[in-house]
Structure 1
């Protein structure tokens, strides 16, 4: 299988393999197949959550692609790139920066293409071609001020009215804060994740439209439920039946108490090789950190890599006890922690095409403290990343010495996986908040602080003697390789993803820069040294032991901020270290990166999964990797068209 599929603009598309799928028994294959169908069925939900006009935009762009014959026009290639970017981001805003794309084709040309469309072309209805609606569409594509940013995190502005996402309508930030403050005060159960699965709108009064069967996104949720019910016939054990029943109950009722009940069952279910995520999970897409985007993932256990991962989970209490943080912020006992290395089978929603490398759930703090959490690292996704990176020249360009390059090639994959294991299991699974402190105490800075905390746990412990004792790393050089690459990324290479002059916006990027800039500053150019060679800037670690200590010092403060809900301290440390980019350094890095012709962002194609029948009998599920990006996107739009633009 060829890993690389194609590249366009700032994106490369890769393929990932599912090792051993063909050897699975038929029952497991069918369980995976129907879970995968349920994962793909939620695609339109994310598109609509990302923007109220996004499904309309996709319908028109795809209709132009399939019905307009203007391939000789020089602007046609620009149109194709724009469409591919919109597919990738599930809308017209960049998946990382959330800034709106600027098209390279003209409004006049685009209007001419629309004029060639007719009712019946793909999903095109009379409403699609209505003059007023077309005007909105033209505004969406060509007016830089209209729906300019999907997620605005600038605390100086109204986060709701300046964000183009579709979680709120007719309300401002103060009204949102007041609504959920009152909702929580009036609730008997104050533990639920208020507002997680709803859109907040103001008609006459402010009210919630809940995502559920028969409610908002009901037609998509019905297809998800239908495939979950089919999957239930092929489960590996009774626990999986109960989990599916609980999830269906949540999707049917929309009741957040039932979502918590599902999560408790899910986190306790550790038997079986197959698992899945399906639902409204992460809140990064909401500047208030309250509304969750829809995502899905089907996974199968990687037996070999899981052995290493389980060592970490079994020693979670040791890691918690010896963490360099104030004892009052430590859990008395970590319970229910599990860590598996898995191979992704199907990515969906907010996990597709850009995939996470690791996941730790559930997000509800009280469930984590009382019942534990599940962590997974996606081995085949990580391996595909690593294979694709070996021939780019990226490491050679930004590493100060050949030794750094050699360490990266030798240990990069191993150390990346270890840091992800520690980040997901020890990082997200540790620590506690003081009484009265809630997960939304840090407001818009909560996600950055939590990701910073998890990264620091991983960085601190991978260089700790315990890592060697447990045989998690072959030698300290593996940890050094990761320290090199982490700081190189946090101080240099991740800003290749950001336009010159812009600030760091995305939570994970902010956390990596925060950590890297903080240790660089505190080390006074002695622990990490800024070097210049041939007019190029590098950051070179001088003292790994001292760097390890600095990671511990920062972890202590970040855990305090999280545990105490210290908003001002969170704001100061994030804005002081995680947001601003030195203009001259940024310009230099972008110029160096441009010469490599390597897109900074990566997405993945799902393997195709097909039922094989002998008459009416299901006899096999076949997997093939013979698809390209455009084919897969058009297939999903046709086969999983669960929501309508109008």
Structure 2
């Protein structure tokens, strides 16, 4: 489970600004609604050669799965990416023309989102280049770049280049240009068939939501105390009218990519920090080879128990936000090592996990009598891959299996060099002057904001996701499409509630009982107003993290109206959030946390649906327009993503690695084109 940066819209930099600290440039190019950043891999030079080599092979494994995510996000994505890259590199024409410039932005967005739908809002991109221009450009590069394999005609190899290109263009034309075709990658609209109306590639064509839900319901064993995460690593397809799973494993679906991942995991093994980590890799490889979800659980248990290794990684089918039913997992990877100094902060939280569980406002029936295996650390990211690249989380808590968490615990991370990059790129935006109500509140945020942002992430990941329990007999998939939103909301409210607790002052994690107010203000402002800059006019909120922030903020606002706990007020024609009673706001968070934990523990689908639909989906069009207009005048980009560093292995005459060099000067398009060339692991069509 991931925590997506919630205060990003405060910590953001002005267009054209260059954030540079200690001669390291954090900001980079911008396009559409995105600004690219760079992150510094602090103290990489202090690692031993063995550790550097271990990181190197793990980063190679992290990059070999890139094509998987493109295909998971939509069945046309790989073919479109390869065709468009051919135009981008080899088209001979006016590259300053309006069509080409619009095309270049489209391709950069496609790279960023690993597909043709927005990485966050899930809506399909609008193509601002013409159909005629695209067809002519394809015709020009088709034969030169050997694109015949992109054509799906039965006799494609026998067709002339012109005929094959025309067939391909006719197939992809409505996908790109018709707004009614595949409009949403993940549709969460209540009442719709969420599979038929979503463009993701986790389900074969023609499969309905009811069919998929029935398929997995029938296969769940009754009263299994340790259920596998059914459907996690497969595509559900219909063959001759019968539903079947195509499992993602070596020699199965995505097998050519998985083989490359395994090869690099094998190369990494001799350089692992500890024997326990070798066992982790071996079990992960076994899972990749068999696709057995019991083996996946065994791997997760070994992984979460390894808390001593300096270098660590995630590699696999992990999070289910991209599946409208919240079951099937996207592929992702991150390679990292401990930030030893900052980890002392999270260590204090994990050592006191039982106290936090015991003192939660939740009903005692839903609390863990004995919290097990809670570990947390602050890490330095070395590489990002799959669904963590280029847009990424700032905190992660795994594994996601409820029974594994109950019996063995979980491992949480806060990614310090990514949060640091966001912070260092934040100067001079003018955002807080525009949206924060007064100077006193801005001073509060300036004084305590960074500290409380980090603590909110720590509490969310380390303790929030690790808290509470399901009642016996509760199916962990009962909340269906609302499961991810409820779980992220639960962790957020947990963190908000405890940020105001004296316990954090006693542990030395906050300086005083004023600090939490900075997070309360920015959270409410974001949930009620400023996250709306990410929504197009007329749209509702779709993304799980945005929905959870909205339902928390709007629920607290509505339930505190009588006492005017939080208000939306006008000053000189502009709307602002004003918090009149921070203590009562905490009481509201306590009440909401108790209810959300009840929903989770009992599997109350209808209550989850009402909470999300009533408070987390709708958008006030008048307020939305105002926020968009005010934000536009600041000339900011609402989304950020990262360019990875480049690792180069220095080898001797025998092929042994003698050093690993790191550099930060690769441009965004150069990196994407290199990845497409060097990590080209899947065929164009993956059926």
Give the TM-score category using the shorter length.
over 0.9
Q: Secondary structure at the match of 2:245?
A: strand
Alignment-derived partner of residue 610 in structure 2: 572
Alignment-derived partner of residue 392 in structure 1: 429
The CA deviation at 1:186 is 8.2
Taking a change above 3 Å as real, the CA distance of residues 123 and 376 of structure 1, as seen in their structure-2 partners, is farther
Could you list the runs of 5+ residues in structure 2 that have no partner in the other structure? 1-23, 153-163
Alignment-derived partner of residue 32 in structure 1: 55
Cα distance in 1 for partners of 2:143, 2:249 equals 31
2:139 counterpart (115, 122, 131): 115
Alignment-derived partner of residue 172 in structure 1: 208
1:267 counterpart (284, 301, 304): 304
The CA deviation at 1:144 is 0.9
> Is 1:542 paired with 2:580?
yes
The CA deviation at 1:124 is 5.8
Question: Deviations along 1:404-431, whole A, 9 cap, x unmatched?
Answer: 2222233222111100000001100000
Assess if the C-alpha contact under 8 Å between 1:246 and 1:261 holds in 2. yes
> Is 1:352 paired with 2:376?
no
> Is 1:435 paired with 2:496?
no
Q: Secondary structure at the match of 1:404?
A: helix
> Is 1:58 paired with 2:81?
yes
Assess if the C-alpha contact under 8 Å between 2:193 and 2:208 holds in 1. yes
Map 1:243-642; keep pairs closer than 5 Å. 243-524=280-561, 526-616=564-654, 617-642=656-681
Question: Deviations along 1:517-555, whole A, 9 cap, x unmatched?
Answer: 111111116211221111110001111111111111110
The CA deviation at 1:155 is 2.6
Alignment-derived partner of residue 91 in structure 1: 115
Assess if the C-alpha contact under 8 Å between 1:310 and 1:339 holds in 2. yes
Cα distance in 1 for partners of 2:412, 2:224 equals 31
Alignment-derived partner of residue 126 in structure 2: 102
User: TM-score, normalising length from structure 1?
Assistant: 0.98
Cα distance in 2 for partners of 1:328, 1:122 equals 63
Assess if the C-alpha contact under 8 Å between 2:649 and 2:660 holds in 1. yes
The CA deviation at 1:130 is 4.2
Could you list the runs of 5+ residues in structure 1 that have no partner in the other structure? none
Alignment-derived partner of residue 155 in structure 2: none
The CA deviation at 1:614 is 3.4
Alignment-derived partner of residue 100 in structure 2: 76
Instruction: Name the stretch that deviates more: 171-180 or 332-341.
Output: 171-180
Assess if the C-alpha contact under 8 Å between 1:60 and 1:124 holds in 2. no
Question: Deviations along 1:603-640, whole A, 9 cap, x unmatched?
Answer: 00111111112333321101111111101111110110
The CA deviation at 1:135 is 1.2
Cα distance in 1 for partners of 2:490, 2:98 equals 49
> Is 1:160 paired with 2:207?
no
Cα distance in 2 for partners of 1:133, 1:408 equals 53
The CA RMSD measured in Å over matched residues stands at 1.4
Assess if the C-alpha contact under 8 Å between 1:354 and 1:602 holds in 2. yes
Cα distance in 2 for partners of 1:403, 1:122 equals 63
Q: Secondary structure at the match of 2:180?
A: coil
Instruction: Name the stretch that deviates more: 405-414 or 77-86.
Output: 405-414
Q: Secondary structure at the match of 1:168?
A: coil
Cα distance in 1 for partners of 2:353, 2:516 equals 19
The CA deviation at 1:566 is 0.7
Cα distance in 2 for partners of 1:420, 1:186 equals 36
Alignment-derived partner of residue 31 in structure 2: 8
Taking a change above 3 Å as real, the CA distance of residues 168 and 8 of structure 1, as seen in their structure-2 partners, is same
The CA deviation at 1:558 is 0.7
Which structure has more relative contact order (CA 8 Å, sep 6+)? It is 2
Q: Secondary structure at the match of 2:637?
A: coil
Taking a change above 3 Å as real, the CA distance of residues 218 and 10 of structure 1, as seen in their structure-2 partners, is same
